[in-house]
Chain A
Amino acid sequence: MRCLIIFGFLWMMGCNNFTNVDAPDSKIEASKIYQDNRTAMMALYNIYGGMFDKNASPAKLARYTGLCSDELELAWESNTEGFYWNNISSGSIYVDSLWSTCYLYIRNANDVFWGCAGSEKLDSGIRRQLMGEALFIRAYWFFYLTNLFGDIALPTTTDAKVNALLSRTIQSKVYDQIISDLKTAVIDLHDNYVGPDSKSLSNERNRPNKAAAFALLARAYLYKGDYENAEFQANTIIAMNEVYDLVPLDQVFLKNSKEAIWQLSAGTPNVSSINTTEGNEFIITQPPKYRIQQAISSYLLKAFDVGDQRRKHWISSYTDKSVSPTVTYYYPYKYKVSSGDDLKEYSMMIRLGEIYLIRAECEVQLGHLSAALADLNKIRQRAGLAAFPEGALDAKGMLKVILKERQTELFTEQGHRWFDLKRTGTIDSVMSIVTPSKGGYPWNAYRQLWPIPINDIRRAPNLVQNPGY
């Protein structure tokens, strides 16, 4: 007995490693992630999954920008009045969550990019595809951030200590970064769409391929005003007419439609059983007071020409009979499925219709009016509108028509209208009428940039606020 106790004592003394605890089984150690093709891919899928269900989902972007511009009206008072009245405060939790979520995607994209870059264990094809997609994602979100906030912090590494001290990079430099990222991505990305193994070919258009990078490049060049390059990228895509083509209005937003260049499919697992966030959040099925809802504004309704089939096919209405007199709300009906596990629709991120309109605009800017007219008419004809005859419009009129065409073609697709108003310089003239009519404050030019969230102004030592806020 005596010996036992003494022995026990000595044994305890020897337990030096007792307090070493392995990482829990429910988590995977960081050092292993980029040593394995599968886990590396999962790190990338996490970003897409987040884009589907986090605070910067396609529907949220469409909604916030739509309320800001002349696309949407608030059907019921909610806490998003700040957007609607163009009176966003720097303390807005919606702006804060959107801002931080975008940077979360960028952080994760950087993580995948540098993780893959530093790994020698990955299959080289897969590694290139993952790195290409990571750069594409980063560029995509830099693009949105700079268009919403102007000059932005531009983190391109994974070192949080360095990134925390970033100051704002001016917008033209942001575009330079976007374009250089996309150019690299173009090289790395697969020509075709790849499946969940990031290698084999797939019919699913839910991951960016080379064409998606071209398309985003075209958009970036257009916004930057580099029309030649934009036109060149658009040409490349439009030339792939076996893969991409305009389809009838009701088929545009179906999953893997031929018009889609890149779509976002539902996350895994699809907990809330929805096809697309737009379908889920825009379709009105009950009186708006039961749910935060918005409807299409009268400005957008008026923008459609008589006979425009998009007015009929892409917009629907709901009449609230619980109030008297009854009120009819018009809502975006591009996506027809509100919820359901059976996936019929994917969120459209980039589509051929936009590319035609990009090319048309570039052609006008470069003086090729007839080529521009042809592209414009393609879109108009699909909408059941008469084609403009040759020579009916001068360059200025043409640009105006294209802007209106973008309004009716690309409405509630992630902020096109808001961005178009800004980049074409028409925002002040439009919003100084629209904002007061929405019940908001008098429009002020500084409102075209959203405020940097106050929390980050406080936390990041080198961030300064946008003027006016």
Chain B
Amino acid sequence: MKKVLIVYCFIIFCNQLHAQVVDLDIHGKNLNEVIMIIGSQTPISITVDPGIKQSIGPISYRCYRKPFMDVLKEICKEELYIITVNGNSVHIGYKPLPQENVSSRTVNSVGMYDLRGIVVDSGNAPLSGANIFIKGRREKFVSRSDGKFQLTNVSKRDSFTIKYMGFKTRDFSCDTAGYDVINPGNDIARNAGSRERGTEEFNAGMNEAGNADSHTIINAGPVSDTGIAGNENKLVAGNAGRSDDNVLRFTLFPMVQQLDTVTKGYYVTSDRLNPGKVSGIKARDIQGQPVSDPLLAMDGRFAGVIVSPESGFAGSFVGLNVEGVNSIANGNAPLVIVDGVPLAMSTMSQLRNAAGDISSMPLPRPENIESTYILKDADASAIYGSRGANGIMLVKTKRPAAGKTHLSMAVYSGQGDITRRLKLMNTQQYLAMRHEALRNDTLDVGTTDYDLNGKWDTTSYTDWQKVLLGGHSSVLDANGSLSGGNQQTRFSIGGGYRRETAVFSHNFASTTLSADMTVMHVSDNKKMTVDIGLHYVNNDNQLPISDVTPKILLAPNAPSLYTSSGDLNWENNTFDNPHGLFKQRYQADFNHFLGSCRLTYKLLPRFMLSTNLGYNYIQLNERLVIPTSSMSPVNSSNAAAREHHEGLNAIQSWIVEPQANYSLNLGDQHTIDLLAGITLQQSKQHQNLFDGTNFESDALVENISMAVNKSFNTDENVYRYKGVYARVGYNYNDLIILNFTGRNDGSSRFSAARRSEFFGSAAIAWIFSNTPAFNIPHLSLGKVYANTGKTGNDQLSNYQFYDTYSVSTGYGGVPGLERAQLINYLYRWEILIKSSVGFELCFDEKYTISANYYQNHTRNQLIKYELPAITGYKYTTENLPAVVQNRGLELELEIQQIQMKKFRWMHSLNFTVPYNKLVAYPNIASSIYSSIYEVGQPLNVRFVYGFKGINPATGIAEFKDINDDGKVDKLDRTTKVIGPKFFAGWGNRFTYKGFSLEIFFQLVKQTAYYVPNLDLMPGAFGSSVGNQPLSNDRRWKQPGDEASVQRYAASKKYAEDAATQYNQSDASIVNASYIRLKNVSIYWNLPLSWSTRVKIKSASLFLNSQNFATWTHYKGLDPQTQSFHSHYRMPLQRMIAAGIRISL
């Protein structure tokens, strides 16, 4: 990509620097490398304007003891670049076009004159509303809509500063000698208003696609030659040929490496003008993470966002929560939008499997994501309406750049393993515990105590954690894409393959195939644009039906898994062989298609029409087979134990969103953006479930039609949503921003009487750095904002208000019909009131700090209101005046780029303190939530017994009798909060020459549920459980012992109730805080000289690792997936993968 560079500057020579000489003998280097070589020979530090490095080279140069300035001048073509020397530093910058004349001032008698100029971007488009401050004076000048401005009464010695949103602030001298003058002609006037939002959005996608690393700004960025519509803004200096009324031109350069533009719902604004906070991550952040699910790559990266994988299996469901739980009984899922198309985020699996739920979001594949933004504030939610009440995640897939046809490929392969282990007993310790337990209960070794009575070898030892989970999973991921096209039409096609096996067996794997295609076109007259994206993913996930992880608690002297002949060992029906589970197979076949199309049409220069069209089809086919060979042979003739189930679950949805956009300038200082649009959305779900049980033989179980008992269930539902919305955006001189949004939402989940509801929001931002009073040195942006709004939640099941009968068990050969539920026609939307305030400060365009405080209230909670059984109904749907509050503080700190000679460092930090509270719930004591929630406490509470200690006489755990009624029962439980207190993500990227190292830490301070006694009380035996963690605590052995652990017990008789209560006591709420080195990624870009030799554009080698290390005091396997019931789940794996990325 050659860049058209429009350049200017002036040179000051410094004698002493001239004395520096260098030796060079280089071939095929780029400017960066040359600078480093020069830097190594001289004490000079050289800086370069962005964009120049890429455009010079490859350089071949040979010299001996030559003044380095001469060298630089020769290397950098003097007619294009200019070299500025200041002390020991040298700057290579853009050079202005040759001067034509300097007639833009009228000097008065005392040397004062008026300076007239025009502020343009590097693409020469005028920038209106730029703020200009003359040093030492309090007045402020603002460039007009055509970019022109006039500074009155300046002298040669004065200097001034130009500030413009999204651009680097620059200082200029009022000594105009050497400035470049252009003819402002008619073109400028005509183009002044050409920065319509819609075009920008299109541009942004197009520009960024070209270079995944450059976080480009759409406001006429320096790479606008890659953007189709960007061409319009181009204006070549002096091309009008008229020489009268010439003015000086001051060029501003956009800030690089900044996520400047944000798409807020249906409009685009600059991050700086946004009266709220939007955070995003880019392709670069995602591609270093070897994960299957794009959501996993978001973990820890956003303030206020919690990503919670259900288990460590590939393809298992990943939960996503933005700023807390709002709804008690209904959905809290954020709206996930991929290229304008909302994705169904619900779990779709109907059959049981080891992973729990199967994720419905492997689309788009992570490598194909260009950017992901999280929108949280009221202003953003309001534009998406009720669908976005729980936050919005906007995913944009990559878009191709114009230019030579470009092929890029990446392959990596790696291994995963489970790093954390429980400290469990060995055989000796275990048997000692068992004998002690029997002694305590005055029992003899019984017929079913296989571990002690000789049925199992009492001398053998198996580390079940090692045997069952100690293996390695493997991952192979390959993807590639081909893109190209010209200014008018561009395309890309791509595909990927990924296979990830499970740690316990390579026969269980998740295999994903994906394909995608994008086409973009702009019409000849550039009035119409089309952007089409098609994505398809197929995932085949093979899993056991149940997770093998809980079996790590097998007695350490349990028999071996296989007999000497290689068959599964059932040890005469005494052993529940965990590998039997591997014969109980679950298979998910997942098809996901997403097609999006965006049409825009510029009807008038300031009036644009557009339409989003989207289609999404998700289909999950599941199959579950249980043969009796998976069980102890005692079942081999038990036909009823054989099962075969097949499920189909398909969601088909479409969305149509026409929209009109008009922008209006009222004088130089006021801009108004008007937006109106409609959303129509339909989602249709179809479910089938076939159940076959009772097969005569294992040979038949693969074919469900061979089942003796068959049943079939089908269900379908339709959801429709309509939103009509309008937005008014007012911008006063980039100083005050006001946003008003109003909308009317209708959802088919409410009866006609309650269907539609009005929502709205208001937002204000004050960019105080644009006022002269706050013209603080180094402060390039200072912004405070506030926003508030009302929205609704309709994430409940469909048809709740329809009074229907469904088919039930019938009689005498005829099916029955049963009333499905008690109907309440009058339930209505859950209402969310969201508000947030915050500020954002940016210094020197490098250091950004922002803070956001949010407070959201959800009222009108729509609850399954529990009815007494005497009514014959369990629930009815009803709005309760219950209120849930979420508030929190979010801090983000970003350092754009710090250059230390050859080093570059980027840094980002996000930090969140969330707090959730059930503010009100009338009559909670008589509701189903009486032992789940407590008013005044977060929703994340557990009701637990208060552990008092071990009774020294009996050795039994005792608990607090809170209500003093002489017995410890459910009424004696108190609440204990679990969940995060704060969480943070901390990322660093270091670049040195062609190397880059990225390190990302995740930090969570939290408490969590942990079952201290695991599955069974210590001392008892089960055929698949029984081992206990090695504890350093003192246990009770004999009367009089002061102990902290209850006595071992083998039978239910004495100790079981207390053991159960212990598991439900405050002793089970533990500290589960952790620091995780979430991601380490090392890149090495092969030197250009190497890659050019083999005729490839670029190549890089990389080594990525996910979940590399975890520091925690949590006793369980994983502080993130935890175990909310007594069973352990497959923990997250540490994945290490190495690969290569090639671009042709």
- CB proximity of A135 to chain B, nearest CB, Å: 16
A204–B708 alpha-carbon span in the complex (Å)? 26
Which residues of the other chain, B, contact A75 by a CB distance below 8 angstroms? none
Contact of A52 among B715, B809, B818, B869 (CB under 8 A): B809
Q: Are B720 and A461 in contact (CB under 8 A)?
A: no
B867 at the interface (CB under 8 A from A): yes
Which chain B residue lies CB-closest to A266? B811
A302 at the interface (CB under 8 A from B): no
Q: Given A28-B805, A33-B817, A46-B816, are A271 and B869 also a contact pair (CB < 8 Å)?
A: no
A353 at the interface (CB under 8 A from B): no
A5–B658 alpha-carbon span in the complex (Å)? 8
Which residue, of B804, B811, B876, has the highest number of chain A Cβ atoms within 10 A? B811
Which residues of the other chain, B, contact A18 by a CB distance below 8 angstroms? 680, 720, 722, 746
Which chain B residue lies CB-closest to A166? B870
B719 at the interface (CB under 8 A from A): yes
Which residues of the other chain, A, contact B925 by a CB distance below 8 angstroms? 458
A269–B870 alpha-carbon span in the complex (Å)? 28
Q: Are A28 and B804 in contact (CB under 8 A)?
A: yes
Fill in one digit per residue for A27-48: 1 if any B CB lies within 8 Å of its CB, else 0: 1111101000001011101111
Fill in one digit per residue for A402-416: 1 if any B CB lies within 8 Å of its CB, else 0: 000000000000000
A455 at the interface (CB under 8 A from B): yes
Which of chain B's residues 151-165 have a Cβ closer than 8 Å to chain A?
none
A200 at the interface (CB under 8 A from B): no
Q: Given A8-B658, A19-B748, A49-B811, are A103 and B716 also a contact pair (CB < 8 Å)?
A: no
A13–B676 alpha-carbon span in the complex (Å)? 11
Q: Are A49 and B809 in contact (CB under 8 A)?
A: yes
Q: Are A207 and B812 in contact (CB under 8 A)?
A: yes
A348 at the interface (CB under 8 A from B): no
Contact of A272 among B709, B815, B868 (CB under 8 A): B709
Q: Are B717 and A24 in contact (CB under 8 A)?
A: yes
Q: Given A27-B802, A29-B804, A107-B873, are A52 and B755 also a contact pair (CB < 8 Å)?
A: no
Which chain A residue lies CB-closest to B930? A458
- CB proximity of B330 to chain A, nearest CB, Å: 18
Q: Are B814 and A268 in contact (CB under 8 A)?
A: yes
Which of chain B's residues 772-829 have a Cβ closer than 8 Å to chain A?
798-799, 802-820, 822-823
Q: Given A12-B656, A46-B816, are A21 and B803 also a contact pair (CB < 8 Å)?
A: no
B603 at the interface (CB under 8 A from A): yes
Which residues of the other chain, B, contact A453 by a CB distance below 8 angstroms? 869
- CB proximity of B992 to chain A, nearest CB, Å: 53
Q: Are A48 and B872 in contact (CB under 8 A)?
A: no
Which of chain A's residues 150-182 have a Cβ closer than 8 Å to chain B?
153, 155, 160, 163-164, 166
Which chain A residue lies CB-closest to B804? A27
Q: Are B812 and A45 in contact (CB under 8 A)?
A: yes
Q: Given A23-B804, A24-B716, A30-B803, are A153 and B748 also a contact pair (CB < 8 Å)?
A: no
Which chain B residue lies CB-closest to A23? B802
Q: Given A1-B601, A42-B817, are A12 and B868 also a contact pair (CB < 8 Å)?
A: no
- CB proximity of A18 to chain B, nearest CB, Å: 5
Which residues of the other chain, A, contact B720 by a CB distance below 8 angstroms? 18-21
A12–B802 alpha-carbon span in the complex (Å)? 26
Contact of B680 among A5, A15, A27, A48 (CB under 8 A): A15
A196 at the interface (CB under 8 A from B): yes
Q: Are B872 and A155 in contact (CB under 8 A)?
A: yes
Which residues of the other chain, A, contact B806 by a CB distance below 8 angstroms? 26-28
Which chain A residue lies CB-closest to B870? A153
Q: Are A268 and B866 in contact (CB under 8 A)?
A: no
Q: Given A8-B658, A33-B805, are A21 and B817 also a contact pair (CB < 8 Å)?
A: no
Q: Are A271 and B804 in contact (CB under 8 A)?
A: no
Which residues of the other chain, A, contact B678 by a CB distance below 8 angstroms? 9, 12-13
Q: Are B812 and A196 in contact (CB under 8 A)?
A: yes
Fill in one digit per residue for B897-929: 1 if any A CB lies within 8 Å of its CB, else 0: 000000000000000000000000000011000
Q: Are B869 and A43 in contact (CB under 8 A)?
A: no
Which chain B residue lies CB-closest to A46? B816
A73–B708 alpha-carbon span in the complex (Å)? 34
Contact of A111 among B721, B756, B819 (CB under 8 A): B819
Q: Are B694 and A20 in contact (CB under 8 A)?
A: no
Which residue, of A46, A99, A453, A455, has the highest number of chain B Cβ atoms within 10 A? A46
Q: Are A456 and B711 in contact (CB under 8 A)?
A: no
Q: Are B811 and A164 in contact (CB under 8 A)?
A: no
Which chain B residue lies CB-closest to A27? B804
Q: Given A42-B814, A49-B811, A107-B873, are A269 and B694 also a contact pair (CB < 8 Å)?
A: no
- CB proximity of A126 to chain B, nearest CB, Å: 13
A267–B811 alpha-carbon span in the complex (Å)? 5
Which residues of the other chain, A, contact B543 by a CB distance below 8 angstroms? none
Q: Are A41 and B814 in contact (CB under 8 A)?
A: yes
Which residues of the other chain, A, contact B528 by a CB distance below 8 angstroms? 1
Which chain A residue lies CB-closest to B822? A160
A204–B814 alpha-carbon span in the complex (Å)? 14
Q: Given A27-B820, A33-B817, A108-B819, are A460 and B810 also a contact pair (CB < 8 Å)?
A: no
Q: Are A30 and B805 in contact (CB under 8 A)?
A: yes
Closest 8 CB pairs of A and B: A107-B872, A46-B816, A49-B809, A460-B868, A100-B869, A27-B804, A45-B811, A30-B803
Report which B residues bind A (CB closer than 8 A).
Answer: 447, 528, 601, 603, 609, 611, 656, 658, 660, 678, 680, 694, 708-709, 711, 714-722, 724, 746-748, 752, 755-756, 798-799, 802-820, 822-823, 866-874, 876, 925-926, 930, 970, 1052
